[in-house]
Amino acid sequence: MSASLPARNLVLFNYDWDRIGFGRWFDGFPQDSIGFDLFSFPSNAHLAFFDMERMVERLAARAGRAGWRAVISNHEQFGALAAALLAERMGWPGTPVDAVLACQHKLHAREVLQRVAPEANASFAPLAARYGDPAPDGLDYPLFVKPVKAAFSVLARRVESRAELHALTRFGVGELWVIRHLVEPFERVARKRLPQAGTAHRMLIERPVDGQQYNLDGYVFGGELRDLGIVESVMYPGTQAFMRFDYPSRIDARVRLQALDVARRFLAAVGYSHGMFNMEFFHDPASGKLTVIEFNPRMAAQFSDLYLRVEGVDLHRVALELAHGRDPALLPRTVPVAGAASSLVYRLFDPTLRPPMPQPERQREFARRFPDALLFTFPKPRGSMARDYKWLGSYRYGIVHLGGRDAYDLRRRCEEASRLLGWPAPYASCDSVVPNGWKGPRPVPQLSMDTT
């Protein structure tokens, strides 16, 4: 590579929080972004032709001319594995490919956890049925069902009966096409590098777990695990749909140490020697039991802004340092601007309704009154909304990030911001009536696992 070329960074599938987070550091870390958006048309049409291994080979051939010296991605479906493959191919710092595969193959991850931390595992088994086949007899309900390889909570659902299980796993021709194209790029790599895990084209069943849900965020450098913090997940009452992500969490310090111990054992077992991670888990304060939901082999990019506001730690800068093989512990912290921060998730549970999207004038007023806020809107046509209801159980139409002096000030600001947007504040109970005549989601019996 010519010495005159500046060192550049390749960011794969760079959208939403990542576009903002990595954009903060563009001057010091010039970046090129490659990868399509799974959630917008026509960008997601690239799914029809996507081949991860071919993409990596093409990127490797371009790396010298482009001046790339590092690759990074927080994209769960394709990016994290593609970045690991390219880093390995180029000899750049990166998370080991086999460790990424072990985390993302949810059945294999459960089997590893059963060996190294059985006390933190949920009861599990592969679902003995192909997509569309009748649900097998003899299962003990309720169950939590999810794909062996998926992201964004797609098709992860609690089912109360054989009929519900069968309905969840019956798909039309178009749905099957999407599912197979989402899983097959991972499957082709896993068949070669993790054959003992078996196919990812199937579902996993687990025993539902009670407790409050949390996210342990951290990284591994030089084989040493460093924790960054724990974000608390708050669900819409009676559902498994995220309503807020709050930082700092209210978790007890002893539980944090317990979570770190489990993370160390699991990540060491799968050879996770470098890179950021996010461990989702439940903790039941009554029994003291901690149950791992899953390990994500990348940063939870949605939380980066929360840590920056409250701790003065920018997770995107941490990720960039790791991509260059440098120790993030040496980074200085900025002055915190909030005592509490939340990622506020706005959802609709009634397929017959459409949420009001703030028009440009209202968005400008929102930006004027809340200059520190981040606002994301996700308008969709009815067809895409219908798929969200089947695959996710709700339609996420907006996200707002805010900070406050403390949790009380944060809630006050959230309620004011929500009124301005014409959206119900994500603090209301299920029974409350919210603007535009909407009612909160109908309660279901028990919270169960959800995935990021």
Rounded-to-integer distance, Cα 258 and Cα 396, Å: 33
Q: Which two tokens stand for residue 266?
A: 């699991």
Whether cis (ω within 30° of 0) applies to the bond prior to 195 is no
Cβ–Cβ under 8 Å, residues 363 and 305: no
DSSP classification of residue 416: H
Please tell me the pTM assigned to this model.
0.90
Contacts of 340 by beta carbon, 8 Å cutoff, 6+ apart: 246, 247, 248, 310, 403, 404, 405, 406, 407, 409, 410
Nearest to 262 by CA among 286, 291, 236: 291
Rounded-to-integer distance, Cα 66 and Cα 302, Å: 29
b/e per residue 195-205 (b: at least 16 CB within 10 A): eebbebbbbbb
What would you measure as the largest C-alpha separation in the chain, in angstroms?
67
pLDDT by residue, tens only, the chain of 452 residues: 444 556 899 999 998 899 999 999 999 999 999 998 776 666 677 788 899 999 999 999 999 999 999 999 999 999 999 999 999 999 999 999 999 999 999 999 999 999 999 999 999 999 987 776 778 888 999 999 999 997 656 677 888 999 988 888 877 777 788 888 889 999 999 999 999 999 999 999 999 998 999 999 999 999 999 999 999 999 998 888 899 999 999 999 999 999 999 999 999 999 999 999 999 999 999 999 999 999 999 999 999 999 999 999 999 999 999 999 999 999 999 999 999 999 999 999 988 888 899 999 999 999 999 999 999 999 888 777 887 887 778 899 999 999 999 999 999 999 999 999 999 999 965 333 233 333 333 333 222 333 33
For CA atoms 352, 358, 359, 362, give the dihedral sign: positive
Nearest to 414 by CA among 344, 362, 309: 344
Nearest to 297 by CA among 157, 105, 124: 105
Per-residue pLDDT, 364: 96
Per-residue pLDDT, 238: 84
Kind plus residue range of the DSSP H or E element containing 340: strand 340-348
Nearest to 9 by CA among 67, 93, 64: 67
Can you list the alpha helix ranges (DSSP code H) found in 270-398?
304-311, 315-323, 360-369, 382-392
Amino acid at 80: A
Measured at the CA of 30, the angle between CA 220 and CA 222, to 5 degrees, comes to 15
Rounded-to-integer distance, Cα 335 and Cα 319, Å: 20
Can you list the alpha helix ranges (DSSP code H) found in 91-160?
97-104, 106-116
b/e per residue 109-122 (b: at least 16 CB within 10 A): bbbbbeebbeebbb
